[in-house]
Structure 1
Amino acid sequence: MSFWVYCNSCFLSAAADRQLAVTTCGHVICSVCYQKGKQKNCLICSSQCQISPLSDKSSSEVKTLFSDINVVTTKHLTEISKVISFQSRHQRKLLTHYKKRNEKLEETFVKMKQEMQKMAKKLNEQSVYIAKMEKSLQHQSAMAPPVSQMSRASYSAHVQKPALQIPYNSPAPLLRHFPATNIPTLFPDCQLTSPPRMDEWAPSPADRPAKTCRASTAANPPQSVAFREPL
């Protein structure tokens, strides 16, 4: 029995005539003091309780309370070390898994960062190109006149431009390009007359006078060819 085990009433250790017991309320009392109090009542706290004598036949729970602390510590430390070893092994496996996963995520992050940089560069290039095109369009818009002015100018030009008039003149000027001596050789019997004026023009083809022209050759006799005035 350890030195610290004594009766909580008389503070005496166990002896041949004095046996110690433990109550359910957690007090230690000897057999002599127990008889001084009431039955089934604790002499220390006066609560109802039961007693269990301290001996080799005591329960394991009672023996554990009075066992050597070094033995209990060694036993429990061994169990604790087993538990710690088991848990730490599984924690290391889980940590290794998360490390590998983190490395893969870091690689993916680096790739995505590079892709983002490329996309940002392309976006900047497109922005510069769009700004240049907008500037060019603004310059062209500033150089070109408004549509309303263009339409008004084209309309005024169309209205003010006179229509092309071809005056009717005699075909005499056209004959300037041809010598007069060649005409009789082609049609020796034809007589050229100037066309009538517009106010003397016949109203219908039936009223137009026909002109005859005789063409003679060495092989054929002279024939009369009728010509009508052009419409």
Structure 2
Amino acid sequence: MAVPAFCNSCLSEPRNPTPRFCLTNCGHVFCEVCLQKGKKDECLVCRKACRTLVLSKEISPDIQSLFMRVDVLCKKYSKEISQVSEFQEKYRKRFLTHHKQKDELIIAKLEESLKKVTQQMQQMKSMKPLEKTTPLLFASTSRNPFSIPSRKQNVFSSYSHHSSRPSTAETMEAMEIDPVPSPMRKV
């Protein structure tokens, strides 16, 4: 331990003939003599309930670091931080490479789909002018489905079953209208 520890009660420093030192969970250090003078499981400084840990070379590195010089700690943690940073950078690069490849595959599929849709749209556009110029089939006066009817021909006259009856157009032309109102009709 590089930083000298001292008892927070009697301010003595650890020496070989002196008793061991303990650390409380509230962060105070006491020699074994002062700790025995106080109440059991109670800190001599803050009077809070506490547990103690005997300070020795076998304690955990986290506890040991509390008593190391700051410059030694900086070197130690700087090396650890560099290792962590290198690991995270490699991990990040692998992660980005994976997603970049995945994105490139998705983009390629989307571009292929776009190309197909564009081709289909162009095919549909090239078919549209043909639809506009194609005549209506079966709309003629003769039984020939490929002939185009004229405007004056009655489209339904060829389908009439009774040729002795006049068509509606013929009946309309032969009718006369009486301009005098009928006595039966209310005006």
Fold match by TM threshold 0.5: yes
Offset, 1:73:
3.0
DSSP-derived class of the 2:104 partner? helix
DSSP-derived class of the 1:21 partner? strand
Query: Deviation string for 1:97-125 (max 9, x for gaps)?
Result: 33234334333333322221121121223
Letter in 1 for 2:90: R
Which of 49, 68, 93 is equivalent to 2:51?
Answer: 49
Letter in 2 for 1:150: S
Where does residue 154 of structure 2 map in the other structure? 145
CA distance in 2, matches of 1:15, 1:107: 72
Where does residue 120 of structure 1 map in the other structure? 121
Letter in 2 for 1:81: S
CA distance in 2, matches of 1:83, 1:26: 29
**How many correspondences in the alignment?**
150
The gaps in structure 2 that reach 5 residues or longer are 141-147, 166-187
Letter in 2 for 1:29: F
Name the structure with the higher helix share. 1
Does 2:67 align with 1:59?
no
Letter in 1 for 2:81: I
CA distance in 1, matches of 2:50, 2:77: 34
TM-score, normalised via structure 2 length: 0.57
Q: Sequence identity, in percent? A: 27
Where does residue 163 of structure 2 map in the other structure? 155
DSSP-derived class of the 2:124 partner? helix
The 3 A distance-change label for structure 1 pair 141 and 68 is farther
CA distance in 1, matches of 2:86, 2:6: 40
The 3 A distance-change label for structure 1 pair 51 and 117 is closer
Where does residue 21 of structure 1 map in the other structure? 22
Contact map agreement 2:24 2:50 (CA 8 A) in 1? no
CA distance in 1, matches of 2:161, 2:20: 134
Query: Deviation string for 1:155-214 (max 9, x for gaps)?
Result: 349xxxxxxxxxxxxxxxxxxxxxxxxxxxxxxxxxxxxxxxxxxxxxxxxxxxxxxxxx
CA distance in 2, matches of 1:51, 1:104: 59
Where does residue 84 of structure 2 map in the other structure? 83
DSSP-derived class of the 1:26 partner? coil
Contact map agreement 2:22 2:52 (CA 8 A) in 1? no
Letter in 2 for 1:119: Q
Where does residue 75 of structure 2 map in the other structure? 74
Letter in 2 for 1:65: L
Letter in 2 for 1:146: V
76-85 or 25-34: which moved more?
25-34
Letter in 2 for 1:14: E
TM-score, normalised via structure 1 length: 0.48
Letter in 1 for 2:80: E
DSSP-derived class of the 2:163 partner? helix
Q: Bigger radius of gyration, 1 or 2?
A: 1
